[in-house]
Amino acid sequence: MSRPVRTVTAQLDYRRAFDLLHAHGIHHLPVIEGKRVVGIVAHRDLLLAAANFGSTNVPVGEIMKAPPVCISEGADIKDAARLLVLNHIGSLPVIEDDGTLVGIITETDIFKIMAGMIGALPEDREQDEDASLVC
């Protein structure tokens, strides 16, 4: 799970959300109202918006997927992976019992766990690169 979570409001122009994704090297932004998650917007959603709307001001709320599929903070990683697969999504906002956003788990997080890379030291990554194949 990643913390802190970068978020946007439904009123933000989609181009600003796109800039935020690129500035922070992320692919998913929970859309919040107060402390509650009301939607989620992914990089691919914003790319489609750019193709369809160009320079027109369009709020994220018109592009976001709502309601979002979320997972509780205490849930098992297998449950998170199952939700990602069953819902064909790339991320899950992680919420407390009261609905407050506390983190986000992504496909990449799941892949890193499966590959044993969570908490890997930089020198470990260099060794892994030696084992990679280019097709």
What percent of the chain lies above the pLDDT cut of 70?
86
- pTM surpassing 0.85? no
Q: What is the pLDDT of residue 90?
A: 95
Supply the DSSP symbol for 18: H
> Looking at the predicted structure, is the pLDDT value of residue 100 above 70?
yes
Residue 109 in this model has a pLDDT that exceeds 70: yes
Judge if the upstream peptide bond of residue 4 is cis by omega within 30 degrees of 0: yes
The CATH class that applies to domain 14-130 reads alpha beta
In Å, how far are 2, 15, 60, 71 from 97, measured between CA atoms? 18, 32, 26, 10
Confidence of residue 113 (pLDDT cuts 50, 70, 90): confident
Task: Output the pLDDT for position 118.
Answer: 57
3: which 2 tokens?
């913390």
Sorting pLDDT into bands at 50, 70 and 90, what band is 129? Answer: low
Return the domain boundaries, the chain.
Answer: 14-130
Residue carrying the six token digits 């790319």? 47
pLDDT for res 3 = 87
C-alpha closest to that of 10 among 28, 41, 31, 36: 31
pLDDT in tens, 15-73: 999 999 999 999 999 999 988 999 999 999 999 999 999 999 999 999 999 999 999 99
Whether residue 6 contacts residue 26, with contact meaning beta carbons closer than 8 Å, is answered with yes
Percent of the chain residues topping a pLDDT of 90: 70
